């Protein structure tokens, strides 16, 4: 997820481009660049943050330009891979947000036709294709080029000698800001709000032509009308897209995150699941290493790997792993880290490699240290996560683990088909939770009045009990413990009473009866119980104090749905307590020290 911008009008483009890019940095910040036309195309790009870049670029007089702030997806963060990208002549420049899935074959064809490529990116095929089809009209050449493209894109293109910008979008966001004799293009509204609050939203497949005289939108070559909208928000607000907190926005992005994660893997199935070597190497065990929320994703991974692969899986805290001897014969290691910079995970990875263990990394940050260290890296598609407490990145990790095990498993086709069907339904099921928050809000407020809370679950939902407790600790500052439900009677029961509410995750699987018994035991000790369950059946409703009903899904995916409920529960408890939800005290988004 990158940020792209464009400007054409009667003011110098340079300062406007940098100001707009600065507002989009939450979308990606590993490198950036601008291209301004006026006496040819002037291109500046490097692995700087936007403000640094703005300081290094000399004064440019051009009044049309494009810009990009990057969240690397294809090709590591580097000055060469940074955007804008140009054609051989340097007269055509393009910025892009999205993934071009057929870029390899297009690149080979273009090279065979004499085009020189300088970067590792998918995006670079665009200016070369535009150059190939250019015959006096930039928009016609862009339209032809997009005809060859598979995947998602939002682009802004310019050509020296043509006083216009051409924009287009498919599966990536792009808006046009309307000004007086000037117009702006951007990935998101925050970028342009300093200049205008008049916005046109491009539809899928639209091509926009922006000139000093105005804006034309075309669709399949025909001019179409698009309504202009007035944006009532401040920049700050919009960055949160109208949500009060980044975490609430990120929780609401999860249907998209699941969709993007699945779409990404469909296109690159053969690339990422290169685990055949495991069989050849006679791998007999797996070790998953991570910290915090990522560790909880690993625990869910253990259940599904063992169920579908029938090999033993150990999950360990990276911070602990580094301090005791290991037997790693015939073991494959997976390290999970959102930031890719967590010191404990990096150290553990090096230790593993020292003893000849092959390491597969699952991370959300392209170009992060772990992606350089690991033998193989899978990137999640959560996009930049601004709130310190992880939510959507955890979701992307879970879906990645489900996909990984399914694409490697030899389980019967029927079961895999059912799971695939279940995965595809998840975005809508998550949306149902997000659209029906009233009981979650109520019980979040209820929990905000307590200082000690227990979360319990069994099987696949035991790690989710741990995650629910971590979220309540992190953002609401309530002491919370996650427990395997069967463990309470081995000690923690001593703490139970009226002041220790228990949140119990009940799933319609083979742990159902045992969970009901645990709830009865807890009730017998006077503790209030909130139950998450997929339907209001007489039994659960009778024994629990409160029930949060969740959409019905294949039991293997119940962790996904229950996670969203517990994220929101913690959010509303934190809100009730007036906590600094996005940036909790004493925490950092990535822990780069041991
Ligand atoms: C979770 O909300 C926290 N931000 C923290 O526990 C985090 O999961 C942990 O520090 C691991 O970070 P990583 O995934 O970036 O390695």
Mutate to test the pocket of ligand 1, among 250, 288, 294, 397 (most ligand atoms within 8 A of CB): 294
Q: Is 475 in the pocket of ligand 1 (CB under 6 A)?
A: no
Contacts of 551 (CB under 8 A, 6+ apart): 429, 432, 433, 534, 561
Q: Which two tokens stand for residue 33?
A: 């660049």
Per the CB < 8 A criterion, the answer to whether 478 and 446 are in contact is no
Q: Which two tokens stand for residue 342?
A: 């967590």
Q: Is 560 in the pocket of ligand 1 (CB under 6 A)?
A: no
pLDDT at res. 211: 95
pLDDT at res. 269: 46
Atom of ligand 1 nearest to the CA of 590: 15
pLDDT at res. 270: 45
CB atoms within 10 A of CB 36: 27
**Backbone φ, ψ for residue 17 (5° rounding):** -60, -45
Q: Is 369 in the pocket of ligand 1 (CB under 6 A)?
A: no
Taken in order 443, 448, 450, 456, the sign of the CA dihedral is: positive
Q: Which two tokens stand for residue 269?
A: 């199935």
For the annotated catalytic residues, the residue numbers are 2, 589
d(CA 307, CA 314): 13
Specify the residue for token string 């009209």: 137
pLDDT at res. 535: 63
User: Per-residue DSSP letters for 229-246?
Assistant: EE----HHHHHTTT-SSH
Q: Is 335 in the pocket of ligand 1 (CB under 6 A)?
A: no
Q: Which two tokens stand for residue 538?
A: 């007489």
Say how many Å lie between the CA of residue 407 and the centre of ligand 1.
Answer: 26
d(CA 206, CA 476): 44
Q: Is 292 in the pocket of ligand 1 (CB under 6 A)?
A: yes
Reference 339, options 126, 588, 173; nearest CA is: 588
d(CA 411, CA 562): 26
pLDDT at res. 3: 93
d(CA 490, CA 546): 25
pLDDT of 87-129, one tens digit each? 999 999 999 998 898 999 999 999 999 999 999 999 999 999 9
pLDDT at res. 280: 65
Specify the residue for token string 């150059």: 131
d(CA 307, CA 480): 30
Q: Collapsing DSSP states into helix, strand and coil, what is residue 531?
A: strand
Per the CB < 8 A criterion, the answer to whether 429 and 554 are in contact is no
Q: Whose CA is nearest to atom 4 of ligand 1?
A: 389
Q: In what order do the strands lie in the sheet with 479-484?
A: 479-484, 452-457, 502-505, 529-533, 546-549
Taken in order 48, 52, 57, 62, the sign of the CA dihedral is: positive
- Residue 330 is classified by DSSP as T
Side-chain-side CA neighbours of 364 within 13 Å: the count stands at: 29
| Mean of pLDDT over the chain | 91
Q: Collapsing DSSP states into helix, strand and coil, what is residue 527?
A: coil
Atom of ligand 1 nearest to the CA of 293: 8
Atom of ligand 1 nearest to the CA of 391: 2
Q: Is 364 in the pocket of ligand 1 (CB under 6 A)?
A: no
Say how many Å lie between the CA of residue 130 and the centre of ligand 1.
Answer: 42
d(CA 83, CA 72): 10
Side-chain-side CA neighbours of 26 within 13 Å: the count stands at: 19
Specify the residue for token string 């690993």: 298
Say how many Å lie between the CA of residue 589 and the centre of ligand 1.
Answer: 7
Contacts of 436 (CB under 8 A, 6+ apart): none
d(CA 145, CA 471): 46
Atom of ligand 1 nearest to the CA of 339: 15
Helices (DSSP H) in 91-227: which residue ranges? 103-112, 125-133, 138-148
Q: Which two tokens stand for residue 109?
A: 């064809």
Q: Which two tokens stand for residue 407?
A: 């694409």
Reference 170, options 194, 183, 151; nearest CA is: 151
Q: Is 397 in the pocket of ligand 1 (CB under 6 A)?
A: no
pLDDT at res. 271: 44
Q: Which residues of the chain have pLDDT under 50?
A: 268-273
Q: Is the peptide bond before 84 cis (omega within 30 degrees of 0)?
A: yes
Cα separation values, 190 from 15, 21, 242, Å: 16, 9, 11
pLDDT at res. 272: 46
Q: Collapsing DSSP states into helix, strand and coil, what is residue 19?
A: helix
């Amino acid at each position: 997820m990158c940020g792209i911008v464009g400007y054409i009008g009667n003011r110098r483009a340079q300062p406007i481009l940098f100001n707009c890019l600065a507002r989009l940095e939450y979308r990606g910040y590993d490198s950036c660049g601008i291209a301004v036309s006026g006496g040819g195309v002037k291109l500046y790009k490097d692995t700087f943050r936007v403000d640094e870049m703005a300081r290094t670029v000399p004064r440019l007089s051009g009044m049309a330009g494009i810009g990009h702030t990057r969240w690397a997806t294809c090709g590591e963060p580097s000055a060469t891979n940074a955007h804008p990208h140009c054609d051989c002549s340097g007269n055509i420049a393009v910025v892009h947000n999205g993934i071009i899935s057929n870029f390899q074959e297009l690149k080979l064809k273009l090279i065979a036709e004499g085009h020189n490529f300088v970067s590792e990116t998918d995006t670079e095929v665009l200016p070369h294709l535009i150059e190939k089809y250019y015959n006096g009209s930039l928009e016609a050449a862009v339209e032809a080029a997009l005809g060859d493209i598979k995947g998602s894109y939002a682009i802004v293109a310019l050509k020296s000698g043509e006083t216009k910008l051409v924009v287009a979008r498919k599966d990536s966001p792009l808006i046009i800001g309307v000004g007086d004799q000037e117009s702006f293009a951007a990935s998101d509204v925050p970028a342009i709000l300093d200049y205008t609050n008049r916005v046109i939203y491009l539809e899928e497949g639209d091509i926009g032509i922006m000139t000093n005289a105005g804006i034309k939108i075309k669709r399949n070559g025909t001019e179409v009308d698009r309504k202009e909208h007035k944006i009532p928000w401040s920049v700050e607000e919009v960055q949160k897209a109208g949500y009060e907190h980044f975490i609430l926005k990120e929780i609401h992005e999860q249907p998209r995150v699941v969709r993007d994660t699945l779409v990404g893997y469909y296109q690159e199935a053969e690339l990422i699941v290169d685990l055949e070597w495991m069989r050849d190497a006679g791998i007999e065990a797996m070790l998953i290493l991570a910290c915090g929320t990522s560790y909880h994703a690993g625990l869910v991974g253990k259940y599904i790997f063992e169920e579908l692969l029938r090999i033993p899986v150990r999950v360990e805290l990276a911070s602990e792993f580094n301090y005791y001897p290991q037997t790693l014969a015939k073991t494959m290691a997976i390290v999970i880290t959102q930031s890719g910079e967590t010191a404990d995970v990096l150290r553990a990875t090096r230790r593993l490699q020292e003893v000849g263990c092959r390491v597969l990394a699952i991370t959300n940050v392209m170009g992060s240290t772990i992606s350089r260290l690991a033998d193989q890296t899978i990137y999640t598609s959560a996009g930049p996560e601004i709130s310190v407490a992880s939510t959507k990145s955890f979701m992307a990790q879970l879906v990645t683990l489900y996909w990984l095990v399914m694409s490697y498993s030899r389980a019967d086709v029927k079961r895999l088909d059912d799971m695939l069907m279940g995965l595809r339904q998840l975005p809508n099921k998550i949306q149902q939770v997000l659209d029906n928050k009233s009981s979650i809000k109520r019980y979040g407020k209820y929990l905000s009045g307590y200082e000690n809370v227990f979360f319990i679950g069994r099987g696949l939902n035991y790690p989710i009990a741990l995650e629910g407790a971590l979220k309540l600790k992190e953002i609401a500052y309530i002491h919370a413990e996650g427990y395997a439900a069967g463990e309470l009677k081995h000690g923690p029961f001593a703490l139970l009473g009226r002041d220790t509410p228990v949140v119990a995750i009940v799933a319609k699987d083979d742990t159902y009866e045992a969970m009901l018994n645990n709830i009865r035991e807890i009730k017998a000790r006077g503790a209030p119980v909130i139950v998450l369950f997929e339907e209001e059946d007489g039994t659960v409703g009778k024994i629990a104090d409160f029930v949060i009903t969740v959409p019905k899904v294949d039991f293997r995916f119940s962790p996904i749905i229950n996670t969203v409920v517990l994220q929101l529960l913690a959010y509303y408890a934190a809100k009730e307590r007036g906590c600094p939800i996005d940036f909790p005290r004493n925490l950092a988004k990535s822990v780069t020290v041991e």
